[in-house]
Amino acid sequence: MNILVTGGAGYIGSHLVDRLLSVGHQVTVVDDLSVGKMANLQRHLSDKRFRFIEGSILYPTMMDELMKDCQLVYHLAAVVGVKYYVEDPLKVIATNVRGTEVVLELAALHNCRVVLASTSEIYGKSSQIPFSEDGLRVLGPTWVHRWSYATSKALDEHLAFAYARRGLQVTVIRYFNSYGPRLDPRGYGSVVAKFIIQALQNQPFTVHGDGQQTRCFTYIEDSVEGTLLAGGEEKAIGEVFNIGNSQETSIQELAELVKELTGSESSTLHLPYQEVYGPGFEDPPRRVPDTSKANILLGFQAKVPLREGLEKTIAWFRSRQ
Ligand SMILES: NC(=O)c1ccc[n+]([C@@H]2O[C@H](COP(=O)([O-])OP(=O)(O)OC[C@H]3O[C@@H](n4cnc5c(N)ncnc54)[C@H](O)[C@@H]3O)[C@@H](O)[C@H]2O)c1
């Protein structure tokens, strides 16, 4: 297949590209390198089945050229990471909403199937745990910029389903805190990257709040497997899936595990949210996926336990020291 990966120089995108090329597809990546790195794709630059285009998804003429003869697009390009939502919400909204509009409109025009990367942030601070795809979304006020990302992705999903009504073959996947090699400390699963870097430098773990908030950390191999199933399975068309591991871990427990696995002497430094992200910032206390739908329709099941995934991730960070 001719496959386009938007944001393919980024963390998840580059791992997805590795897998797509390994099973014989022709892959084009478009990435503006605002966050993504060529180093993530270096090994493919001499492969004739691989093409890299540096550019923004916000340019419809360029995107039209790229999507004309592609059968499937994995749309991952976005502004990702709490730091960015708080600092530049306008960029978040413009990239995530306008960029997705460009991709969906051209996909509909050229009859190209789409897998749209969405997020567990969609559920906001809902207390309906675990989060199921048809569950509530509970977000805070619009003047608190941290909600701009969840809102932009929700609008992306609405757009996707609106295009689906007009015949577009589209699947939405909601990732839950992916982590693994190539993780960028500025990005979404940044707490894992930050803790590993702090541990390797024997610096204190900076824990936001009391550290009792939980997340479900999903190793990159599982995130990519779910993505591929969403793009390959006929039953996935027109559907939305949680892609995550359901093992719940508090941020404090994560710090302790990273400390144990690295043999670090780091202590823990608790920082109030308001001090880090400004007034009105809220962090959902728990974020747990219900993955039964992905399991039944896609055969998806996260396999890599946190300890094993962290060991591999730590080894990657060590190899870069
Ligand atoms: N990592 C996670 O745990 C997680 C969780 C939920 C959702 N997601 C979603 O998965 C996708 C990939 O996330 P990631 O963690 O790999 O993030 P990432 O920041 O590593 O990747 C995003 C890529 O998009 C590129 N990009 C940004 N704006 C662009 C533009 N205008 N044109 C072209 N490229 C552009 C960046 O350079 C980057 O390479 C995103 O859509 C994100 O919202 C990720």
Helix/strand/coil (H, E, C) string of the chain? Answer: CEEEEECCCCHHHHHHHHHHHHCCCEEEEEECCCCCCHHHCHHHCCCCCEEEEECCCCCHHHHHHHHCCCCEEEECCCCCCHHHHHHCHHHHHHHHHHHHHHHHHHHHHHCCEEEEEEEHHHHECCCCCCECCCCCCECCCCCCCCHHHHHHHHHHHHHHHHHHHCCCCEEEEEECCEECCCCCCCCCCHHHHHHHHHHHCCCCEEEECCCCCEECCEEHHHHHHHHHHHHHCHHHCCCEEEECCCCCEEHHHHHHHHHHHHCCCCCEEEECHHHHHCCCCCCCCCCCECCHHHHHHHCCCCCCCHHHHHHHHHHHHHHCC
Given the structure tokens 């569950």, which residue do they identify? Answer: 135
Q: What is the predicted pLDDT for the residue at 187?
A: 64
The answer to whether the CB of 178 is under 6 A from ligand 1 is yes
The answer to whether the CB of 116 is under 6 A from ligand 1 is no
In terms of average pLDDT, the best of 145-154, 252-261, 265-274 is: 252-261
Residue 144 CA to residue 160 CA, distance in Å, equals 26
The answer to whether the CB of 188 is under 6 A from ligand 1 is yes
Q: Which of 149, 163, 188, 219 is catalytic?
A: 149
* Residue of 209 and 20 predicted with greater confidence: 20
* Domain regions of the chain by residue span: 2-177+217-246+286-303
Residue 213 CA to residue 120 CA, distance in Å, equals 15
Which atom of ligand 1 has the smallest separation from the CA of 178? 3
Residue 233 CA to residue 184 CA, distance in Å, equals 30
Distance 10 CA to ligand 1 centre (A): 6
Distance 96 CA to ligand 1 centre (A): 10
Residue 297 CA to residue 274 CA, distance in Å, equals 41
Interior/surface letters 209-228, b for 16+ CB within 10 angstroms, e for the rest? bebebbbbbbbbbbbbbbbb
Q: What is the predicted pLDDT for the residue at 189?
A: 59
Residue 254 CA to residue 251 CA, distance in Å, equals 5
Percent of the chain with pLDDT over 70: 99
Residues 6+ apart with CB under 8 A from 253: none
Q: What is the predicted pLDDT for the residue at 321?
A: 80
Q: For 131-148, write each residue's pLDDT tens digit.
A: 999 999 999 999 888 899
Q: What is the predicted pLDDT for the residue at 251?
A: 97
Q: What is the predicted pLDDT for the residue at 188?
A: 61
pLDDT band at 223 (very low <50, low <70, confident <90, very high): very high
Would the pLDDT of 192 be above 90? yes
Q: For 39-70, write each residue's pLDDT tens digit.
A: 999 999 999 999 999 999 999 999 999 999 89
Distances (CA, A) of 263 to 43, 91, 172, 196: 32, 39, 39, 11
The answer to whether the CB of 53 is under 6 A from ligand 1 is no
Q: What is the predicted pLDDT for the residue at 236?
A: 98
Residue 32 CA to residue 56 CA, distance in Å, equals 5
- Check: CB of residue 75 under 8 Å from CB of residue 117: yes
Nearest partner of 212 among 181, 153, 255, judged by Cα? 255
In the beta sheet, which residues pair with residue 53? 30
Q: For 77-128, write each residue's pLDDT tens digit.
A: 999 987 788 889 999 999 999 999 999 999 999 999 999 999 999 999 999 9
pLDDT band at 273 (very low <50, low <70, confident <90, very high): confident
Q: What is the predicted pLDDT for the residue at 257?
A: 98
Q: What is the predicted pLDDT for the residue at 274?
A: 78
Q: What is the predicted pLDDT for the residue at 302?
A: 98
Q: For 279-305, write each residue's pLDDT tens digit.
A: 777 888 899 999 999 999 999 999 999
Fold of 2-177+217-246+286-303: Rossmann fold (3.40.50)
The mean pLDDT of the chain is 95
Residue 7 CA to residue 292 CA, distance in Å, equals 28
Q: For 152-178, write each residue's pLDDT tens digit.
A: 999 999 999 999 999 999 999 999 999
Q: What is the predicted pLDDT for the residue at 275?
A: 79
Q: What is the predicted pLDDT for the residue at 141?
A: 92
Distance 41 CA to ligand 1 centre (A): 15
- Check: CB of residue 304 under 8 Å from CB of residue 174: no
175 is catalytic: no
Nearest partner of 171 among 118, 105, 102, 108, judged by Cα? 118
Distance 81 CA to ligand 1 centre (A): 9
How many CB atoms neighbour CB 93 within 10 A?
18
pLDDT band at 3 (very low <50, low <70, confident <90, very high): very high
Q: What is the predicted pLDDT for the residue at 297?
A: 98
